[in-house]
């Protein structure tokens, strides 16, 4: 029986969609879904959700829930990680303290101050998960959804290089889906490939029956002047390739947008936007509790858009698919650093996940990618060495942070962030959490 483990299953709405997508495949073997969380109430709701979906979708599965991570991981075939260390309180800290210092962030979970500190408080947990997996399920695939994606997967590649890890994100799929809607073609009829780094990959191939679809996109933009006031359209116009994440996320990777009130207004950005999104996630959990208590059918999105269920299905059944994954750059993108984490197409089948060798991506796109990879590399080094100056130097390399703050202000901001996050940061970096390497 195949064991699929959900770490952080208390992310109930996301767990619901992943489980639903899995159960919609009618050719999978018998599954055991093992749900783990450290919050007992959230875990209870997650387990009830899985059981409800089994009935609602008429697909028999075994559902196991446990507060013990090692118990959950024993004998796993696939492990899906979606933990948010520190929860909504840490998210507020990531956004509100930098805002007090004059730094604007929209999402703050992948790069910049928010991304760096989220990574540093996630690394101890990732190390513990990796150590447990190497002992209890060394052949399992770890499919990581937790942000900051590239930093987390990079950390795992350093501390547990023998573990099979892929970072998965839906940004490429939904970007192309939205672009297809904009120009009036069906996504399933198109061929598309993207490569770069997570949340800043570049759509380097996009065609329909051999026709390059970029001219249609340019025509659609010219026909609608309102589109010119979007971050991703501005990036496309200047770089020549479309980036694969929302305008809100994309704005934080560059120095172009959040540096002034004028740019924020022009490009219709909303600093601190993720606070509202996080509050809505809390409300979603409450609605899930109410729906289960009332015995109502659970609301589900149609179609299997998330990659984790597709990857699992392909490996178990041999059905070949192309997905986009975040993996170690071992000759995959020639003009990005070897050993860094890159986002590339990959073939998935019974043999596992095989990333494609892309070669060189557009030079102008690679130049922007390198800025983010420098932030990530310095963050990894900070955690490995316990050198807190590397945390500050990571932010000196961050385009958005340095477009607004002086080095002196960055040092002061990091001091305050370290104090605020002390309970979940590594001891070596001024926190209270032991970081034990596998």
Nearest Cα neighbor of 423 from 108, 151, 86 is 86
Q: What is the pLDDT of residue 376?
A: 98
CA torsion, points 373, 375, 381, 383, in degrees to nearest 10? -120
Distance CA 67, CA 36 (A): 6
| Mean pLDDT, residues 389-393 taken together | 98
Coil vs helix vs strand at 328: strand
298: left (phi over 0), alpha (psi -120 to 50) or beta: beta
427: left (phi over 0), alpha (psi -120 to 50) or beta: alpha
Query: Do residues 16 and 53 make contact, with C-beta atoms less than 8 angstroms apart?
Result: yes
Coil vs helix vs strand at 13: helix
Q: How confident is the model at residue 305 (pLDDT cuts 50, 70, 90)?
A: confident
Give the domain ranges of the chain.
Answer: 2-167
Query: Do residues 244 and 192 make contact, with C-beta atoms less than 8 angstroms apart?
Result: no
Lowest mean pLDDT among 238-242, 285-289, 300-304, 309-313: 300-304
Distance CA 10, CA 222 (A): 44
**Number of Cβ atoms within 10 Å of the Cβ of 180:** 21
- The CATH number of the domain covering residues in 2-167: 3.40.50.720
Coil vs helix vs strand at 334: coil
Q: What is the pLDDT of residue 294?
A: 86
**Alpha-carbon distances, residue 309 vs 11, 18, 306, 317 (angstroms):** 16, 6, 6, 12
Q: Enumerate the β-bridge partners of residue 4.
A: 33, 78
Coil vs helix vs strand at 77: coil
Q: Enumerate the β-bridge partners of residue 325.
A: 344
Query: Do residues 197 and 150 make contact, with C-beta atoms less than 8 angstroms apart?
Result: yes
Contacts of 136 (CB under 8 A, 6+ apart): 70, 73, 74, 75, 76
Q: How confident is the model at residue 284 (pLDDT cuts 50, 70, 90)?
A: confident
Q: What is the pLDDT of residue 283?
A: 86
* DSSP state, residue 109: S
Distance CA 164, CA 167 (A): 10
Q: How confident is the model at residue 286 (pLDDT cuts 50, 70, 90)?
A: confident
Q: How confident is the model at residue 12 (pLDDT cuts 50, 70, 90)?
A: confident
Query: Do residues 341 and 196 make contact, with C-beta atoms less than 8 angstroms apart?
Result: no
Distance CA 321, CA 318 (A): 9
Query: Do residues 353 and 166 make contact, with C-beta atoms less than 8 angstroms apart?
Result: yes
The residues annotated with a catalytic role in the active site are 170
Q: What is the pLDDT of residue 83?
A: 96
Q: What digits encode the pLDDT tens for the residues 173-213? A: 999 999 999 999 999 999 999 999 999 999 999 999 999 99
The helix-helix angle for 112-136 and 87-100 (nearest 10°) equals 150
**Alpha-carbon distances, residue 264 vs 48, 107, 158, 255 (angstroms):** 43, 14, 38, 12
* DSSP state, residue 359: B
303: pLDDT strictly greater than 70: no
| Mean pLDDT, residues 292-315 taken together | 87
* DSSP state, residue 209: T
At which residue do the structure tokens 């450290």 appear?
38
385: pLDDT strictly greater than 80: yes
82: pLDDT strictly greater than 70: yes
Coil vs helix vs strand at 426: strand
Residue 93 backbone dihedrals phi, psi, to 5 degrees: -60, -45
Distance CA 410, CA 240 (A): 33
Q: How confident is the model at residue 120 (pLDDT cuts 50, 70, 90)?
A: very high
């Amino acid at each position: 029986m195949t064991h699929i483990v959900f770490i952080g299953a208390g992310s109930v709405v996301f767990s619901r969609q992943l489980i639903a997508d899995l159960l919609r495949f009618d050719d999978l073997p018998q599954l055991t879904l093992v749900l783990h969380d450290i919050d007992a109430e959230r875990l209870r709701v997650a387990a009830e959700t899985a059981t409800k979906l089994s009935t609602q979708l008429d697909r028999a599965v075994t559902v196991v829930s446990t507060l013990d991570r090692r118990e959950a991981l024993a004998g796993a075939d696939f492990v899906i990680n979606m933990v948010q260390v520190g929860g909504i309180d840490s998210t507020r800290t990531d956004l509100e303290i930098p805002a007090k210092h004059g730094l604007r962030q929209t999402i703050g979970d992948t790069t910049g101050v928010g991304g760096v500190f989220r990574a540093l408080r996630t690394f101890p947990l990732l190390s513990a998960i990796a150590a447990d997996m190497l002992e209890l399920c060394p052949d399992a695939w770890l499919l990581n959804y937790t942000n900051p994606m590239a930093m987390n997967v990079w950390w795992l590649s350093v501390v547990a290089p023998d573990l099979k890890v892929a970072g998965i994100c839906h940004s490429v799929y939904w970007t192309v889906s939205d672009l297809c809607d904009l120009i009036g073609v069906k996504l399933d009829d198109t061929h598309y490939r993207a490569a770069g780094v997570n949340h800043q990959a570049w759509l380097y191939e996009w065609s329909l029956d051999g026709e390059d679809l970029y001219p249609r996109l340019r025509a659609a933009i010219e026909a609608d002047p309102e589109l010119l006031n979007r971050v991703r359209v501005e990036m496309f116009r200047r770089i020549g390739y479309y980036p694969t994440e929302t305008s809100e996320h994309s704005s934080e990777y560059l120095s172009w947008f959040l540096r002034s009130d004028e740019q924020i207004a022009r490009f219709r950005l909303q600093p601190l936007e993720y606070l509202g999104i996080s509050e809505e996630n809390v409300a979603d959990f409450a609605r899930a509790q109410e729906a289960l208590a009332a015995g109502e059918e659970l609301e589900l999105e149609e179609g299997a858009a998330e990659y984790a269920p597709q990857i699992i299905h392909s490996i178990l059944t041999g059905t070949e698919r192309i997905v986009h994954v975040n993996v170690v750059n071992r000759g995959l993108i020639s003009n990005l650093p070897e050993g860094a984490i890159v986002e590339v197409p990959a073939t998935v089948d019974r043999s596992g996940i095989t990333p494609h060798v892309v070669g060189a991506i557009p030079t102008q796109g690679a130049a922007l990618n390198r800025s983010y990879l420098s932030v990530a590399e310095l963050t990894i080094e900070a955690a490995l060495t316990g050198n807190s100056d590397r945390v500050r130097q990571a932010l000196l390399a961050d385009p958005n942070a340095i477009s607004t703050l002086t080095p002196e202000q960055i040092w002061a901001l990091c001091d305050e962030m370290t104090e605020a996050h002390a309970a979940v940061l590594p001891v070596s970096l001024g926190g209270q959490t032991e970081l034990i390497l596998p």
